[in-house]
Amino acid sequence: MGSLGRALSKGSIRCLTTAAAARESAEGSLFQRLTALAGTDGSAGVELNKWLEEGKSVKKWEIERFIKRLRGYKRFKHALQLSEWMDTKDMKLSRGDYAVRIDLLAKTQGVDSAEKYFHSLPKAKRNWATYGALLNCYCVNKMTEKAESLFGKMKEEKFACTSLVYNNIMTLYLKIDQPQRVPPLVQEMKGKGLKLDIVSYNLLMNSYAAMNDVEGAEKVVEEMKGEGKAGGWSTYSNLAAIYVKAGLFEKAESTLKEVEKTEGTKSREVFQFLMSLYAGTGNAAEVYRIWDALKSAFPKSTNLSHLVMLQSLVRLGDISGARVFFDEWESKCLHYDFRLTNVMISVYLNRNMINEAESIFEGAKKKGGIPTVRTMEIFMDYHMKNAQFDFVLKFLDEAITKSYSNNWKMSVEKFQPLKKYFEENGNVDGAEELYEKFKKTNSLEAAVYDSLLRTYIAAGRTEPTMRQRIEADKVEVNPEMEKLLEKVCPL
């Protein structure tokens, strides 16, 4: 073991040089170093080692805080590197640390990697926290069969003992349009004596709303009142949203008045919900009233508040008012937020006003705005719809470049028109280029290879290494793909 290795200890890592350096906090400048890695090939682990070599120290709880903050910024790759770094220094990980690792692996390397890590853990480490983290991965990715299987296993192991576990499954059922399966789960919770939290009640309300059972949603609120869990602004705003969706605008506005009476009106978040929901009722006067009230309560309005107001004006169909509002914000903002620009770009592209959209886009960049992956997606969607595939590829390259640190994935379904275009024209080079982009964004699925094989067949070409490529990419060959493979890569 070298001098650096001998200076390491569990729980607290310290390089023993001067006492002054050892006391220096990692909270400030070290985190700045870590955030500076965004958009680079730099490793958070390497940066930590450099920090130690400079005679400074960092404690485990500080690293955990860094991981939490990086996750909040969607810097999952670097957060994972910090998590793995703790392993290399033989730090004693908590059950929460293991659960976070599972989540980070799923976000950066896919659910398969998260599964492998989970199953590699000693049985004692496969507890309610790690089971719950894997269940969340399945639910987020709509992997219903695996989620239900794991949920059953958790019941057997007595790990399905919190509302969070049930909330994950109920959220999944709402995502896959099976709201009817939510109420029975709530009854199951009650039968086990598990207390429903606010999220549980809101999911139950939303399930009734999805089934067009407004009365059922109202009964949930009454039940919450009986349990002493209603009265908060989140409950009433959720009910108001249900009324808006059902077109019951009078009931929605009456409920929003209840929201305004709560203590929650002291927060920006409540004002933002009110603006959005009043816009849903089509009441422009109330939207402007709430905006004025927000500015009165919080003279320094945030970009997020401006974003919600802009979205509300668009929802009202007041496009000219939205443009005036946007121009005013853009002329005064201290920190440019491209989310507002994205709203205006979408407005114009949805109306086939490409020149106006491009003008907004170029103007924002001149003012120092930095386009986001979402910006590129908006333009890609427009050009895809209009079969302008050269532009699609141009903005796709930009999206991939910008997505380096937040692990953006390409939607196979979204790029179906482009895949079909390459197939119909036997454009193998184009199909291979698209394949590489799917691979680069960790978005490969069987459907990508299916399209690539069909393109080779349309071009009358073979590819002897195709089977090895598929195996290396860990893509499962289904019977239909096997038929295509026989033509492209005969055995």
> How confident is residue 405, by pLDDT bands cut at 50, 70 and 90?
low
**Candidate from 145-149, 200-204, 229-233, 252-256 with smallest mean pLDDT:** 229-233
Non-local (6+) Cβ contacts of 359 within 8 A are: none
- Tell me if residue 14 falls in helix, strand or coil: strand
State how far the Cα of 44 lies from the Cα of 50, in Å rounded to an integer: 10
Q: What is the pLDDT of residue 9?
A: 43
Examine the pLDDT at 8 and tell me if it is beyond 60.
no
Q: Where are the domains positioned within the chain?
A: 162-230, 231-299, 412-491
Q: Which amino acid is at 340?
A: L
- The Cα–Cα gap between 440 and 447 comes to 16
By DSSP bridging, strand 12-14 and strand 57-59 are: antiparallel
pLDDT of residue 292: 95
Q: What is the pLDDT of residues 362-394, one digit of tens each?
A: 999 999 999 999 999 999 999 999 999 999 999
pLDDT for the residue numbered 402: 85
Over its C-alpha atoms, the chain yields an Rg (Å, rounded) of 26
Segment 449-467 shows an average pLDDT of 95
- How much of the chain, in percent, has pLDDT values that exceed 90? 71
**DSSP per-residue string spanning 464-488:** TTHHHHHHHTTPPPPHHHHHHHHHH
The structure tokens listed for 206 are: 């939303």
Give mean pLDDT, residues 192-216. 93
DSSP assignment of 158-208 equals: T---SHHHHHHHHHHHHHTT-GGGHHHHHHHHHHHTPPP-HHHHHHHHHHH
Q: How far apart are the first and last CA of the chain?
A: 52
Q: Flag whether pLDDT at 423 surpasses 60.
A: yes
Predicted pLDDT at 386: 96
pLDDT of residue 264: 64
Whether the per-residue pLDDT at 329 is higher than 90: the answer is yes
Q: What pLDDT band is residue 482 in, cutting at 50, 70 and 90? A: very high
Does pLDDT of 359 surpass 50?
yes
pLDDT at residue 13, rounded to an integer: 45
Instruction: Work out the mean pLDDT of the chain and round it to a whole number.
Output: 89
pLDDT above 70 coverage of the chain, percent: 92
pLDDT tier, 17 (very low <50, low <70, confident <90, very high otherwise): very low
Q: What is the pLDDT of residues 235-282, one digit of tens each?
A: 888 899 999 999 999 999 999 998 888 766 678 999 999 999 999 999
Which pLDDT band holds residue 73 (cuts at 50, 70, 90)? confident
Confidence of residue 89 (pLDDT cuts 50, 70, 90): confident
At 27 the pLDDT is 46
Higher pLDDT, 188 or 4: 188
Average pLDDT over every residue of 46-55:
88
User: What per-residue confidence (pLDDT) applies to 140?
Assistant: 95
pLDDT at 231: 62
Q: How confident is the model at residue 230, as a pLDDT? A: 72
Question: pLDDT band at residue 54, thresholds of 50, 70 and 90?
Answer: confident
Q: Once rounded to an integer, what is the mean pLDDT over residues 422-451?
A: 93
Alpha helical stretches, state H, 367-445: 373-385, 389-402, 416-424, 428-440
Give the domain 231-299 fold: 1.25.40
Query: How far from the centroid of its chain's Cα atoms is residue 124's Cα?
Result: 30
